[in-house]
Amino acid sequence: MIGWLVRLIFIPSGIIAGWFVAKDAPNFSAVQLVVGLLLIFFIVLVMIIAARLDDMQGKSTGD
């Protein structure tokens, strides 16, 4: 299960890292890891913002 999650993160991060660094460069893995961590960060950030917006909309309707 964890392997699938890691693959789902590292496939797009490998593509994005490939835009900046050649795939045979020695630091490609490090760049891919940083891009993957940034993807995770932005996914979590979007989830937090969506939850807060949902909370704010629920309070404004008078529930």
What 3 state SS string does 7-25 have?
A: HHHHHHHHHHHHHHCCCCC
Asked if the model's pLDDT at residue 62 lies above 60, the reply is: no
The answer for residues whose C-beta is within 8 angstroms of residue 22's C-beta and 6 or more apart is: 28
Give the per-residue pLDDT at 5. Answer: 85
Give the per-residue pLDDT at 56. Answer: 86
Domain spans of the chain?
2-57
Alpha carbon distance 14, 32 (integer Å): 5
Task: Label residue 1 by pLDDT band (50, 70, 90).
Answer: confident
| pLDDT tens digit sequence for 3-58 | 898 888 889 999 999 999 999 999 999 999 999 999 999 999 999 999 999 888 87
Give the per-residue pLDDT at 61. Answer: 62
